[in-house]
Amino acid sequence: MSAEGSEIYGPAPSTAADREPTPAPAWVYLLRCPDGSLYGGWTNDLAHRLKAHRSGKGGAKYTKSHGRDAVRLAYAEKCADKSAALKREAALKKLPKAEKEALAEKWAADNKITLRMATPDDAAAVCALYNWYVRHGVQTFQYTPSTVEEYRENIAHTLQNAPFLLAESADGRLQGFACAHLWHEREAYAWDVETTAYCAPDCIGQGVGGRLYRALITLLKKQGYYNAFALVTGSNRQSNNFHKALGFTKMGIEKRTGYKFGQWLDLDYWVLPLQDGEGEPQPVRKQLTAEEIAEALK
Ligand SMILES: CC(C)(COP(=O)(O)OP(=O)(O)OC[C@H]1O[C@@H](n2cnc3c(N)ncnc32)[C@H](O)[C@@H]1OP(=O)(O)O)[C@@H](O)C(=O)NCCC(=O)NCCS
């Protein structure tokens, strides 16, 4: 993208060539059924595939007759592409049960996450995760990667009003973050926030975003916020399904509102009421106690 003349004209439209290449996502996975058996498969959308198994629609005969909505993800392994995933799936299915169990046990240990509140010192890790989406996707309308210093300020500013949560694996890898910003600055909007979440690309569809968002929503309710809004790119099926699953209601679509990587994008508006009633609200509690936070992050 050319920066020539940008002081006069603003940003040049980003072209399809500006998108950094993303390896085709493909996964092999094992699902644990309630009778203890393991079912193996491959997919290019882990969360979508899990939903299909659990709903019994478009999943597999085996999971439909072995617990359906009670099946749980027991193992996930990222593969370079579809053909690698198909080969790996065939190999996985031939493994003796003990070896599948060993894979599942290690996966569970490696992916045990803990949630904590971010500090400005987490800026480098959060910024690296977020910038992956700036460079590769249309989940964010941002063209230019953020700097660590901008993220330092962003985290510090966010924490003045609302939580900024991190999910980390046992070895300290950042698996995702979720945060809330004031929806608008004017006083009458003081009870409204905009929420968002980003998971590391290889952690998608494994429950990380759900844990982060549920904790975030619990904390926002405790603070006394009334509405959580989320703005989701229309073509971002993952995040639209995610917000629906988390109880948000779609309230509208802003058509053709963003332009990135050579395409116009819609923006879907989602809302989740956080309190009942129409009476006069209490002022929002900007800071919760350490006990309240620990309870929500358990
Ligand atoms: C959107 C995002 C944060 C969701 O987090 P996640 O860890 O992938 O989602 P989870 O596995 O925790 O799923 C939570 C719920 O959403 C549902 N869900 C998530 N992705 C889904 C999909 N593609 N299809 C259907 N349902 C889906 C799950 O079924 C689950 O429902 P349940 O709690 O009833 O079982 C994550 O996918 C992500 O970071 N995506 C890329 C960045 C992005 O789009 N961020 C949002 C910007 S608005």
Which pLDDT tens digit goes with each residue over 252-277? 999 999 999 999 999 999 999 999 98
pTM (predicted TM-score): 0.91
Q: How far apart are the first and last CA of the chain?
A: 45
Atom of ligand 1 nearest to the CA of 139: 44
- Please work out whether the CB of residue 207 comes within 6 Å of at least one atom of ligand 1: yes
What's the average model confidence in pLDDT over 62-82? 92
Question: Could you tell me if 53 and 105 are in contact, meaning their C-beta atoms sit under 8 angstroms apart?
Answer: no
Q: What is the pLDDT of residue 6?
A: 56
Which of 238, 240, 244 to mutate for ligand 1's pocket (most ligand atoms within 8 Å of CB)? 238
- Please work out whether the CB of residue 51 comes within 6 Å of at least one atom of ligand 1: yes
Average pLDDT over the chain, rounded to an integer: 94
pLDDT (tens digit, 9 = 90+) per residue, 15-43? 999 999 887 789 999 999 999 999 999 99
Distant-in-sequence, close-in-space partners of 76: CB < 8 Å, separation ≥ 6? 27, 28, 29, 30, 46, 107, 205, 206
Q: What is the pLDDT of residue 4?
A: 52
The bridge status of strand 249-260 relative to strand 263-273 is antiparallel
- Please work out whether the CB of residue 196 comes within 6 Å of at least one atom of ligand 1: yes
Assign 3-state DSSP to the chain and report helix, strand, coil percentages, each to 5. Answer: 40, 25, 35
- Please work out whether the CB of residue 198 comes within 6 Å of at least one atom of ligand 1: yes
Q: What is the pLDDT of residue 238?
A: 92
Which of 48, 195, 242, 243 to mutate for ligand 1's pocket (most ligand atoms within 8 Å of CB)? 242
What's the average model confidence in pLDDT over 155-170? 97
Nearest one of 163, 161, 245, 177 to 212, comparing CA atoms:
177
CA distances from 40 to 24, 75, 94, 105 (A): 20, 9, 10, 15
pLDDT (tens digit, 9 = 90+) per residue, 142-154? 999 999 999 999 9
169: Cα separation from own chain's centroid: 15
pLDDT (tens digit, 9 = 90+) per residue, 218-254? 999 999 999 999 999 999 999 999 999 999 999 999 9
The CA distance from 66 to 47, in Å, is: 19
What's the average model confidence in pLDDT over 56-83? 92
Atom of ligand 1 nearest to the CA of 178: 3
Q: What is the pLDDT of residue 2?
A: 46
